[in-house]
Amino acid sequence: MKRLTGLLLVVLALGGIVLAQNALLINGAGATFPNPIYSKWFDEYHKANPGIAINYQSVGSGAGIKQATDGTVDFGASDGPMSDEQLKAYSDKHGSGILHFPTVLGAVVPTYNIPNVNASLNFTPEALAGIFLGRITKWNDPAIAGPNKGVNLPTEDIVVVHRSDGSGTTYVFTDYLSKVSEDWKNKVSKGTSVNWPVGLGGKGNEGVTGLVKQTPYSIGYVELIYAANNNIAYGAVKNAEGVFLKADLAGVSEAAAGAAKNIPDDFRVSITNAPGKNAYPISTFTWLLIPSRISDAAKRDAIKGFLKWAITDGQKFNEDLKYAKLPKEVVAKELKAIGSIQ
């Protein structure tokens, strides 16, 4: 009897392996910004739908856009919407378009490592632009010290850390700086990759977080959960109404509130430096990039099914990972847009 029971367990185990191997595999790549929530989603969705497995490579928005355009993945992901030129390149290659689907809302925060300074610092737009332009070089510069009275800031040089790879987080941060600083707009501008005036490069939000953590007197920019999970300091940023705000879900939701009511049909929108007393200024949607035409019917149906789940039931996982839920108006519009995937 024991031998029969043991044999049955072996057969069941082997059957499970075969089922897992036979699961429909969908491959995606792109933004590191939403990787924590995407990892959670793909795991939860597979539990509920064992016949579908989603493999996601957190390689940065620039690489995600490229791989989606090259057709080496089934979908891409980016924190910065594709440009008109990128959309045309995709269309020229595939004879069809690619669609943007907002998935969550998040925040980019200035994170820093200043030995013996435990205070949460306040940063003005002018200070952040000056630091990343290489014009503000000391931690006790008046542009930093002024909004942080009572904090004993050191005379040490500031070590700037930025992304080395094509990055949606970079797009969001440089989009913000381009709105608040004419110098930044004219000299550097915005993009997933820019010519940084100064600094060290780290790959992914993980790489920037690691560099800041191990480099005394450094400053960088990362998605909120990377700062929170790694227990490194991040500061408050002065918003468009003149209020210093530390990133939280309410501030991100407030930043999206205005745009949500009039979001364009292609969902490409910027919500950095948004109006509102409680709007956190470096907030963003992040997008999945889905081909408008998918020849494999099984993959098409699976991707559409996942999208519907992610923007509805999947939203319940957002807040524990420090992402804000999509506004209801955006969800309603997306549910209609999913029907255009053929």
- Tell me what the pLDDT averaged over the chain comes to: 92
3-state secondary structure of 256: helix
Per-domain residue ranges for the chain? 26-106+287-338, 107-261
Query: Does residue 24 surpass a pLDDT of 90?
Result: yes
pLDDT for the residue 17 = 39
How confident is the model over 147-195, as pLDDT tens digits? 999 999 999 999 999 999 888 899 999 999 999 999 999 999 999 899 9
As a whole number, mean pLDDT of residues 85-108 equals: 96
| 21 — pLDDT class (breaks 50, 70, 90) | low
Which CATH architecture is the domain 26-106+287-338 placed in? Answer: 3-Layer(aba) Sandwich (3.40)
Give me the percent of the chain exceeding a pLDDT of 90.
85
Mean pLDDT of 280-302: 96
Both structure tokens of 117: 């300074």
Residue 276's pLDDT is what? 94
The architecture (CATH level 2) of 107-261 comes to: 3-Layer(aba) Sandwich (3.40)
Mean pLDDT across the stretch 21-25?
83
pLDDT at 211 over 50: yes
CA distance 151 to 97: 52
* pLDDT 10s digits, 50-61: 999 999 999 989
pLDDT, mean of residues 37-51: 97
189: Cβ contacts below 8 Å, ≥ 6 apart: 174, 178
Say what the pTM is: 0.86
Average confidence (pLDDT) over 214-240: 95
- Domains 26-106+287-338 and 107-261 alike in fold: yes
**What does the alpha-carbon distance between residue 141 and residue 73 come to, in Å, rounded to a whole number?**
47
